[in-house]
Structure 1
Amino acid sequence: MEDINFYESVYALVREIPVGRVTSYGAIAKALGRDGAARMVGYAMANAGNVRPSVPAHRVLNSKGELSAKAAFGHPNRMQELLEKEGVKIKKDRVVDFKTVFWNPLDEL
């Protein structure tokens, strides 16, 4: 039951990420008081496709700004397309200005 509640908390927080911004699995975990639970955030994101209201999972990346979960989007370029549509620049599966577009929920909420 705890994981289900954690997932719901992850989804609620990810829905707060502004368009054109990205964050990391670790930043989400830390903001939820579960520092070190980045992998659990990743599991939540892997299950986000069927969640309603929708969750902008494409805005959650690894700590290097890489599109590490792009395979979860059904097409190898879909995650990049979603981010680029929001104005996020991607080069070689990595956000170009990661530090500039990084959204840290601890600082911004």
Structure 2
Amino acid sequence: MANDRDRKVGGAQSQPEPDVNSPGYRARVFDIVRRIPPGRVMTYGQLAAILGEGYTARTVGFVMHSADDTVPWQRVINSQGACSTGRVILPPDLQQRMLEAEGVHFDARGRCELARYRWMPEEFDGADDREDDSQPSLFGD
């Protein structure tokens, strides 16, 4: 009996689902996040679009939850330009305060202007943006 990895879809062998808990999966996310300059941000959906198949805004949020001190986690925000970590970290406004210290300005609703602060790695400039952040990140939108 064939397992799910051996199933064929439309005549072609389907790829196994990536393991979001694997070190390689997380490393790809962290490698890009470490490159975000101070005072700039990326969204969960933007990272998912760059990383491609098997990455979603939700899985990027899940991965970011395991970031260590070498990863500037505060530079990843939701598609509305707001911080999504308020229910996960204390104090709840820590992410916004860290970004403000880097020069990112937020309006009264707690949103930054993505047109101004969003960063895109040069090699991915023009990549489709999977802003399907209608599903909240695991940090809790």
TM-score, scaled relative to structure 2: 0.66
User: CA offsets per residue over residues 73-94 of structure 1, 9 Å max, x none?
Assistant: 3211211110000000012221
Return the structure number with greater helix share: 1
Q: Which runs of 4+ in 1 moved over 4 A?
A: none
Structure showing greater Rg: 2
TM-score, normalised to structure 1, is: 0.84
Q: After TM superposition, give the deviation of residue 35 of structure 1 in Å.
A: 7.0
Equivalent position amino acid for 2:29 in 1: V
Structure 1 gap segments, 5+ residues each: none
- Given candidates 46, 59, 72, the residue that maps to 1:40 is 59
Mapped to 2, the partners of 1:87 and 1:73 lie a distance apart of 21
Q: How many percent of aligned residue pairs carry the same amino acid?
A: 37
CA–CA separation in structure 1 for the residues paired with 2:46 and 2:65: 17
Give the distance between the partners of 2:116 and 2:106, measured in 1 at CA.
13
The 5 A counterparts of 1:1-109 are: 2-3=19-20, 4=22, 5-34=24-53, 37-48=56-67, 51=68, 54-91=70-107, 92-95=109-112, 97-105=113-121, 106-107=124-125
Q: After TM superposition, give the deviation of residue 36 of structure 1 in Å.
A: 5.8
Quote the Cα distance in structure 2 between the aligned partners of 1:24 and 1:102: 8
Asked whether the equivalents of residues 85 and 92 of structure 2 are also in contact (C-alpha less than 8 Å), the reply is: no
**Structure 2: distance between partners of 1:94 and 1:35:** 28
Structure 2: gaps of 5 or more residues: 1-17, 127-141
